[in-house]
Amino acid sequence: MRVLYSFPHKLGAGRICHTAWQQVNGIADAGADVLVCSGVLQKPVRPSVEVRPTLARGRLRLPYKLLGSARTLALHDHIVARRLEKLATEIDIVHTWPMGSLQTLKTAKRLGIPTVLERPNCYTRYVYEAVQRECDRLGVVLPADHENAHKELVLKREEQEYRLATKLLCPSDFVMKTFLDAGYPREQLVRHQYGFDDEVFRPGSQGRDARGLTMLFVGLCSPKKGLHYALEAWLKSPAHREGKFLIAGEFLPAYAEKLQPMLADPSVSVLGHRADVADLMRQSDILVLPTVEEGSALVTLEARGSGCVLLVSEAAGAVCEHNVNALVHSVGDAELLSEHLTMLHQDRGLLRKLRAASLSTRDEITWASAGKVLFHVYEDVIEFAESGEGKNADG
């Protein structure tokens, strides 16, 4: 299987750039013949993967700030679309990412090559509306350039990309639901999964201190992530009297100001951005993520790999099952989250049970496993495109 993987950013850097880098290695390990067209290659990939950067030549790189993000992503897209024209008979499927794939998707459709479009977050209109509601409720104003601030041009371009892709890759059921609720056909949506690096994230000796729980939050501290619900739940629960709540991440200033009274509690430690997240997870009993919107938060997978029990909202996109290997609450339900905390505080047997169940399927959520899942998704999409059903859908 020959895959053209188009990624307009710095492959191997942080956040989605790390996700894409892991996907490339995973599908290569699963047996795909991969050609990567990335804006820049930040970190080496598997030797079997061919890389042709679009915004770099040797050590020379085109700064993303020089043309602005939108123009730079469009340039990447233009270059990949032209390359695809010349490679048409050699490519079985094209994997694209948002905001850098409109021309590539158009070219692939004209050439009859099936495509998948990564959806690292929920339907973008839903994201904007959900985050804005939370900001309004808290009285926090997002900076105009914040990634979750409404941008109509971004939304319109992404919606054009949605319509052109053969399939939209949804990393969680919650992401899929937001597209279904927006009226997208079920047959255009396909589930895959993300993973964690099992060489970095390993179980620790959680639970050795029977007196107090250690709860950890990791991520950008903004209204979207629901940290305010976690703080409210923590301070309502008797768990905070003997335990500690560690917060690792940078704060949106207005949000930090709003939460200051709760952040000042002696049981709460604000750590700022940390590079030792794996160590923090090995020292923690619980990973909390009461987010209002998410694709499939990598920290939830990394936490499971590290032996943390998940306390997450249904919007976290976490790979888990309520009351089997995690505790899940509805978005905004700080009361139920507090009850879950109290249950684990009072019943360490339940904590141990959930942790053991979570670790028992640890191998199923690694990046290696995710690569195999994605490889099989490619096979299904190619088969769909070659069938009469796929051709009718494209037409």
Is 208 contained in some domain?
no
Q: In terms of domains, do 331 and 380 share one?
A: no
Range of the domain at 100: 2-195+367-394
Q: What is the pLDDT of residue 210?
A: 60
Is 60 contained in some domain?
yes
The percentage of the chain sitting over the pLDDT mark of 90, rounded to a whole number, equals: 91
Q: 0.85 exceeded by the pTM?
A: yes
Q: In terms of domains, do 231 and 357 share one?
A: yes
Local confidence band at 244 (pLDDT 50, 70, 90 cut-offs): very high
pLDDT at 208 exceeding the cut of 80 = no
H or E element: which one contains 38? strand 33-41
pLDDT at 74 exceeding the cut of 80 = yes
Residue 141 has phi, psi (to 5 degrees) of -100, 125
Q: In terms of domains, do 336 and 255 share one?
A: yes
pLDDT at 388 exceeding the cut of 70 = no
Mean pLDDT of 358-378: 98
Is 70 contained in some domain?
yes
Which CATH number characterizes residue 83's domain? 3.40.50.2000
Local confidence band at 395 (pLDDT 50, 70, 90 cut-offs): very low
User: Would you list the DSSP string of 59-96?
Assistant: TEE--HHHH-HHHHHHHHHHHHHHHHHHHGGG-SEEEE
Local confidence band at 58 (pLDDT 50, 70, 90 cut-offs): confident
Is 160 contained in some domain?
yes
**By mean pLDDT, which of 21-30, 140-149, 226-235 is the weakest?**
140-149
- Residues 280-309 pLDDT 10s: 999 999 999 999 999 999 999 999 999 999
Q: In terms of domains, do 261 and 191 share one?
A: no
Q: In terms of domains, do 120 and 39 share one?
A: yes
User: Would you list the DSSP string of 237-306?
Assistant: STHHHH-EEEEESPBPHHHHHHHHHHHTSTTEEEEES-S-HHHHHHT-SEEEE--SS-S--HHHHHHHHT
The percentage of the chain sitting over the pLDDT mark of 70, rounded to a whole number, equals: 97
Local confidence band at 65 (pLDDT 50, 70, 90 cut-offs): confident
Mean pLDDT of 98-109: 98
Residue 327: how many other CB atoms lie within 10 Å: 23
Is 59 contained in some domain?
yes
Q: In terms of domains, do 158 and 106 share one?
A: yes
**CA 21 and chain centroid, separation:** 13
Is 205 contained in some domain?
no
Q: In terms of domains, do 14 and 162 share one?
A: yes
The overall average pLDDT reported for the chain is 95
Is 21 contained in some domain?
yes
Q: In terms of domains, do 107 and 187 share one?
A: yes
Local confidence band at 207 (pLDDT 50, 70, 90 cut-offs): low
Q: In terms of domains, do 388 and 256 share one?
A: no
**Is residue 55 packed enough to be buried (19+ CB in 10 Å), middle (13-18) or exposed (0-12)?**
buried
User: 3-state SS of the chain: helix, strand, coil percent to 5?
Assistant: 50, 20, 35
Q: In terms of domains, do 289 and 335 share one?
A: yes
Is 250 contained in some domain?
yes
Mean pLDDT of 11-28: 97
pLDDT at 21 exceeding the cut of 80 = yes
165 closest CA partner among 100, 84, 102, 91: 102
Total count of domains within the chain:
2
Q: What is the pLDDT of residue 63?
A: 84
Q: In terms of domains, do 270 and 324 share one?
A: yes
User: Would you list the DSSP string of 160-174?
Assistant: HHHHH-SEEEESSHH
User: Would you list the DSSP string of 346-380?
Assistant: H-HHHHHHHHHHHHHTGGGGBHHHHHHHHHHHHHH
Q: What is the pLDDT of residue 27?
A: 98
Q: What is the pLDDT of residue 209?
A: 54
The type of residue at 27 is I
Q: In terms of domains, do 136 and 238 share one?
A: no
pLDDT at 226 exceeding the cut of 80 = yes
